Amino acid sequence: MVPAVQVSELTKVIREKILVDRVSFQVGEGEVFGLLGGNGSGKTTVFNMLSGLLEPSSGSIVILGKNIKEIKKGNPEIGMVPQQDSIYETLTVKENLEFFGSQFRIPKKELNARVHSLLEEVKLSKKMDALAASLSGGMKKRLNIACSLIHDPKVVFFDEPTVGLDPVVRKEIWDLVNKLHAEKKTVIITSHYMDEIEELCERVGIMFEGRMVAAGTPSEIKAKYKLKQMEDVFAHLIKEGG
């Protein structure tokens, strides 16, 4: 496996509270990896460090061979779909995409082409001139995803991209993740839906109270705990304290 993301002993301490505790994992180039864990287990904190929003207290992150410390914010190799929508409500759909695109050095013609192809992909072409504020929750999430992909990143982080979405939109987001996989992008995704994780991810890591307590393919993990469903493994790990 050629690692696209290498995380070693990653730790975050805020006001003496250990939010992430010596987490290590690797994700291969072109792999879809699931980061699982209960509410408050530290997944978003890991994502914030992976995307450069939060500085680790200790440990290291290497993405596509570069240490995160050497990369400034706005790393063109990374796309981050945050847990909370981060689009601008007072801009239109198209303006949002153009704004996110303007953060990167993309030639105007190319940016324009990407805006239109992404609008098609997330099924928002007809809403191009609508204010983001006027969109439904599912449309906002799709716009957020498109904004995170505007610079065609090689590594994409999805933090709970399907929460609160209807089954059709959820499936559309799965299709998008599968398309990125087919394009050999590296994806890390968090979700509380085990069906989703088993459908999309080749390997998973499970977090509990800031620690990575299990990692492997869903089948390996289920076999290890002699359980048939990932839900049962999840419940077991949380009950037993990892």
Ligand X SMILES: Nc1ncnc2c1ncn2[C@@H]1O[C@H](COP(=O)(O)OP(=O)(O)OP(=O)(O)O)[C@@H](O)[C@H]1O
Return the number of the residue (51 or 96) whose C-beta is nearest ligand X. 51
Nearest to 234, CA basis, from 186, 190, 200: 190
Q: Residue with the closest Cβ to ligand X?
A: 44
| Sole binder of ligand X in the list 1, 2, 9, 40 (CB under 6 A) | 40
Burial call 141-176: b when 16+ CB within 10 Å, e when fewer: bbbbbbbbbbbebbbbbbbbbbeebeeebbebbbeb
19: contact with ligand X by CB under 6 A: yes
- Minimum CB–partner distance for residue 42 and Mg ion (Å): 8
Q: Residue 56, interface with ligand X (CB under 6 A)?
A: no
On whether the CB atoms of residues 79 and 147 are closer than 8 A, the answer is: no
Question: What whole-number distance in Å separates Cα of residue 239 and Cα of residue 230?
Answer: 14
Shortest Å, Cβ 44 to Mg ion: 3
The single residue among 36, 43, 132, 208 that binds ligand X, judged by CB under 6 A, is 43
Per-residue exposure over 102-132, b if at least 16 CB sit within 10 Å of its own CB, e if not: eeeebeeeebeebbeebbebbebeebeeeeb
Q: Contact between 42 and ligand X (CB under 6 A)?
A: yes
- 41 is an interface residue for ligand X by CB under 6 A: yes
Residues numbered 66 to 85 that lie near ligand X (CB under 6 A) are 83
Task: Identify residues 29-68 at the interface with Mg ion (CB under 5 A).
Answer: 43-44
- CA atoms 28, 226, 158, 179: torsion sign: positive
Single out the residue of 26, 44, 144, 148 in contact with ligand X (rule: CB under 6 A).
44
Site residues for ligand X per CB under 6 A: 14, 17, 19, 37, 39-45, 83
Site residues for Mg ion per CB under 5 A: 43-44, 83
